[in-house]
Amino acid sequence: DADVTQTPRNRITKTGKRIMLECSQTKGHDRMYWYRQDPGLGLRLIYYSFDVKDINKGEISDGYSVSRQAQAKFSLSLESAIPNQTALYFCATSDLTVGYTFGSGTRLTVV
């Protein structure tokens, strides 16, 4: 089993729909992150959480919300999806060291 699992792997949704991307990790780490990748822009931080009761906005949080249901689970929601949220989304986890472990990504298309 992967250390960080993201579901779904691919999703096509319509403008205005609510969608949730889920992430779970088996590393036992406290810190979890959501990033999106766009061509030419690299990975940009959406939200991060340092423990279950700690949620923080990242660089591009507008239009997104998150929920940290447990140490191992961190979900990302788009309340009303719009086409410019079409991107590749990555969840990651880390401990107190620097390196992150990433999931395989969710490819989201908003039509």
Which chain residues interact with another protein by CB under 8 A? Answer: 4, 31, 35, 40-45, 48, 90, 92, 94, 96, 98-105
Q: Rounded to the nearest whole angstrom, what is the least distance from the CB of residue 56 to another protein in the complex?
A: 9
> Contact, 53 vs 45, CB < 8 A?
no
CB-count exposure of residue 86 (10 Å: 0-12, 13-18, 19+): middle
Cβ within 8 Å of residue 99, ≥6 positions away: none
Question: Which residue shows structure tokens 């107190």?
Answer: 96
Spatial distance between the Cα atoms of 107 and 2, rounded to a whole number of angstroms: 18
Q: Rounded to the nearest whole angstrom, what is the least distance from the CB of residue 89 to another protein in the complex?
A: 10
Q: Among residues 51 and 79, whose Cβ is nearest to another protein?
A: 51
Q: Rounded to the nearest whole angstrom, what is the least distance from the CB of residue 38 to another protein in the complex?
A: 9
Q: Among residues 64 and 100, whose Cβ is nearest to another protein?
A: 100
Q: Among residues 39 and 62, whose Cβ is nearest to another protein?
A: 39
